[in-house]
Structure 1
């Protein structure tokens, strides 16, 4: 199964799809799973399919060897003339975000960050818009280790990914349940440590936009010839 690590050299792509209904989401997920089951593209390392919980949508967390491999896939005739029109019919919007993992944080009980349907993670994906001139600082703020998080009930991990285009940062987080995540998310600022409040305040001033959704992992597959440490 895929793992999140900043030292494997992968290009990480988030394919985000919005749909109007839960029925549309199911059709979308079924279609995407069939594509992943047959994936054998040069440079493709893994795909992890997520179904939206709060809103009907899907997210595909894809690991590629390089940007060139991704471009080769997306410039193929079958992709342009068959895949793209099909997904245009299935979705209300599509976003492709090219990123690289810059930092991972996890509970001491975990040895690594695995993304798998065999786990019961409550997953949150947050997309934070930022001016290119401030992206490095935003990454720095979120990449800094925070020992307090390790003691927050229900916390499992979060990974910070830098947008290759320079104008966004992604926070991919795992929790043990919706309840524990909501308790953390709605915790009054005065109940958070001073260093955490300071970080959140500075980060908030840098954001140009923020969007999030919650997910469950429904399917994952890795390339059979990819070493475990590179997934």
Structure 2
């Protein structure tokens, strides 16, 4: 199953899709799951499909070996002439965000960050817009460890990813439940630790936009899950 770590050298891509309604979301998720099951593209490492909870949408967290591998896939004739038009029919908006993992923070009870449908994580993806000149500062602020988080009920992990285009930062977070996340998210500012308030005060003026949604992981597959050539031949 896929794992999030800043030292595996992967290019991480977020494919974000909005749909009109839940029926459209189901069709989109079924279609994407079928594509992931058959994925064998050069340089592709993993895909983790998320279904939107607060609104009908989907997010695909994809790990690639390199930007060149990603471009080879997305510039291919089949993708441009078949996949792209089909997804435009299924969705209202599509965003492709190229990122790299800068830092990961996790509860002491976890050894590493796994993203899998076998887990029951309540996932939150936050996209923070920033002027390119301020991106490094914003990344540094969120990348610093915050020991107080290990005492927050229901907190599991969060990962900070830098947008390669230079104008956004992503916070990918896992929680035990919606209740745990909302309790933390809605905590009055004066009840947060002093160092957390200071960090948030520094970060807030740097943001040019902020959007978020909540998800559950519905399907995941890694390149290492693929059958060997011998197994594939035997299954034909």
Shared fold (TM-score, shorter chain, > 0.5): yes
Structure 2: give runs of 5+ residues left out of the alignment.
Answer: 227-236
> In the aligned structure 2, how far is the partner of 1:29 from the partner of 1:45?
20
Per the TM alignment, residue 201 of structure 1 is displaced from its structure 2 partner at its CA by 1.0
Paired position in structure 2 for 1:190: 190
Q: Is 1:126 the counterpart of 2:126 in the alignment? A: yes
> In the aligned structure 2, how far is the partner of 1:43 from the partner of 1:161?
20
Matches within 5 A, 1:28-107: 28-107=28-107
Paired position in structure 1 for 2:8: 8
Which of these two proteins has the greater Rg computed from alpha carbons?
A: 2
Aligned residues: 226
> In the aligned structure 1, how far is the partner of 2:5 from the partner of 2:21?
34
> In the aligned structure 2, how far is the partner of 1:35 from the partner of 1:162?
27
What SS class does the counterpart of residue 182 from structure 2 fall into?
helix
> In the aligned structure 2, how far is the partner of 1:225 from the partner of 1:43?
14
> In the aligned structure 2, how far is the partner of 1:7 from the partner of 1:217?
23
Paired position in structure 1 for 2:161: 161
What SS class does the counterpart of residue 215 from structure 2 fall into?
strand
| Structure 1 moving runs of 4+ over 2 Å | none
Paired position in structure 2 for 1:137: 137
> In the aligned structure 1, how far is the partner of 2:38 from the partner of 2:16?
20
Q: Residues 80-121 of structure 1, C-alpha deviation per residue, up to 9 Å, x if partnerless?
A: 000000000000000000000000000000000000000000
> In the aligned structure 2, how far is the partner of 1:156 from the partner of 1:224?
25
Question: Under a length normalisation based on structure 1, what TM-score does the superposition of the two structures give?
Answer: 0.97
> In the aligned structure 2, how far is the partner of 1:137 from the partner of 1:161?
13
Paired position in structure 2 for 1:112: 112
What SS class does the counterpart of residue 224 from structure 1 fall into?
helix
Q: CA 1:83–1:152 in 2, change beyond 3 Å: closer, same or farther?
A: same
> In the aligned structure 1, how far is the partner of 2:24 from the partner of 2:144?
39
Structure 1: give runs of 5+ residues left out of the alignment.
Answer: 227-231
Q: Residues 24-61 of structure 1, C-alpha deviation per residue, up to 9 Å, x if partnerless?
A: 00000000000000000000000000000001000000
Q: Residues 120-155 of structure 1, C-alpha deviation per residue, up to 9 Å, x if partnerless?
A: 000000000000000000000000000001110000
